[in-house]
Amino acid sequence: MSYSSRGFGIRGLLLAVLVNSLLIEAQAQQETVSLARAAEESRGITAFQDALDTIESEHGAYADALAEPLYSLASRFQQNDRHKEAITAFKRGLHLTRINQGLFSLAQIPFIQGEITSHFALSELQAVDQRQRYLLKVQQHSLPSGEPLIQALMQHADWQQKAYELGLDNFEDSIIRLHGMWDLYGAAIEDILKNDGPVSLRLLAPLNGLMKTQYMISIYNAEKIRINPTVSARQDGLERAFSPTYVPGKSIIWSIYEVELKHHGQYSLEVAQTLVMLADWMLWSNKPDSAQETYTNAIEVLAKLDDAAILKERIFGSPMSLPDIDGLHGLPTAVATAKGKLLLEFGVNARGKVFGMKRLDQVEFKKKEAQRLMRKIRKTKFRPRYVGLEAVTTEKIQRAYSVE
């Protein structure tokens, strides 16, 4: 070995020792910070517990003054992922608040919301559902008409959707969740109508929520017919699935249209998007001729706008799976080809139907899940691509998906 190579080896060894010592020092510093933070948290919890003991000894176990430190203690437990202890503290604070301030006092709401957060963190979904029901009861009794009540109703509608998607109920009973969404969005709309009138911009959020609910009810009805052996004719089944929801859905969209028209005018992107929403609903409900006419109306509105070509390309430049509505989409999001284990090619004809599907990848990973997704895509309706005012067939669409 030459002198220079021996020198390099010594320098490399010294460098390795130096790097290792720096890593050890950094790790020690991190552990010191963690221990200091844990000690600080422990002192904070102890301070809240001492405050509780002092108040209780001076004013009794049911003193109203206990509520605030109990909430602070529960929140500190929650921040440290000590959710069982947090729930216990939140429950005690809630109990004291009910005793001292009444069964439906506003002061209960933060305690119930805290319980919900910790139950959810523990994946105790039935407990979350039970506390959500109680929270709604308190809010409906205590919140005055106006924005806080509307937001509360919307939040509970969101929970009903989440509970439905998480499968908290068996299939037959799960329709109750969708009816709950309908009632909650409807209550929010009723409150807005009472205070603001029929063309308030505040109506848009609950109206869109109602439209989402209509899609979900129609999907539920179609699935119920699919698994019900008494339905003999497929077409009869489809009509039964969509006919109860089509007219209410159309009325909801016209209400959205009236709001957008009032605030943005006939030739606006908002009005064009609402016409697209209506056409999507018509196509979804097996009314392709009405859908095509309404898509054409939307394109004619877009033609009057600045950047018309860009907007038309964004909305009609490629087929779009239905439903295409905030909070509800027909298919999982496609991913970059390099990230997707499932690579598909298919076409969509001028009436929004899928044809010619095939796999382009050679991966056998999760074969059953891939086949299930392919069946779903075949059954999905698509908003077709438009050239000018005409719907056209689109071939060789390639989409990659990460199969879960």
First to last CA, the chain: 56
Crossing angle between the packed helical segments 204-227 and 234-264, to the nearest 10 degrees: 180
Rounded Cα gap, residues 270 and 251, in angstroms: 17
In three-state secondary structure terms, 324 is: strand
| Residue 26's pLDDT band (cuts 50, 70, 90) | low
| Residue 146's pLDDT band (cuts 50, 70, 90) | very high
pLDDT in tens, 277-335: 999 999 999 999 999 999 999 999 999 999 999 999 999 999 999 999 999 988 998 99
Output the pLDDT for position 82.
94
Output the pLDDT for position 229.
58
- The amino acid that residue 394 corresponds to is T
Higher per-residue pLDDT: 135 or 337? 135
Q: What is the DSSP letter of 2?
A: -
pLDDT in tens, 52-78: 667 666 666 677 778 888 899 999 999
- Cα distances from 307 to residues 151, 161, 195, 295, 302, in angstroms, run 35, 37, 37, 18, 9
DSSP 32-50: HHHHHHHHHHHHHHHHHHH
Q: Which domains does the chain carry?
A: 13-123 (1.25.40.10), 320-404 (no CATH)
Output the pLDDT for position 238.
45
Question: Given a cut of 60, is residue 31 above it in pLDDT?
Answer: no
Q: Which residues of 86-99 are buried (b: 16+ CB within 10 A; e: fewer)?
A: bbbbbbbbbebbbe
Output the pLDDT for position 341.
83
Mean pLDDT of the chain: 87
Question: Given a cut of 90, is residue 36 above it in pLDDT?
Answer: no
- Cα distances from 382 to residues 86, 234, 283, 346, 377, in angstroms, run 47, 20, 8, 12, 9
Closest residue by Cα to residue 129 from 143, 108, 112, 147: 112
Phi, psi of 104 (to 5 degrees): -125, 35
| Residue 194's pLDDT band (cuts 50, 70, 90) | very high
pLDDT in tens, 223-281: 888 787 565 444 454 445 455 789 999 999 999 999 999 999 999 999 999 999 999 99
pLDDT in tens, 360-391: 887 776 788 888 999 999 999 999 999 999 99
Output the pLDDT for position 35.
47
Output the pLDDT for position 368.
85
Per-residue tokens: 383: 């908003």
| Residue 83's pLDDT band (cuts 50, 70, 90) | very high
Output the pLDDT for position 167.
94
- The amino acid that residue 161 corresponds to is Q
Q: Mean pLDDT throughout 72-97?
A: 94
Q: Mean pLDDT throughout 135-152?
A: 96
Question: Given a cut of 60, is residue 137 above it in pLDDT?
Answer: yes
| Residue 51's pLDDT band (cuts 50, 70, 90) | low
In three-state secondary structure terms, 63 is: coil
Closest residue by Cα to residue 206 from 214, 120, 228: 214
Question: Given a cut of 70, is residue 164 above it in pLDDT?
Answer: yes
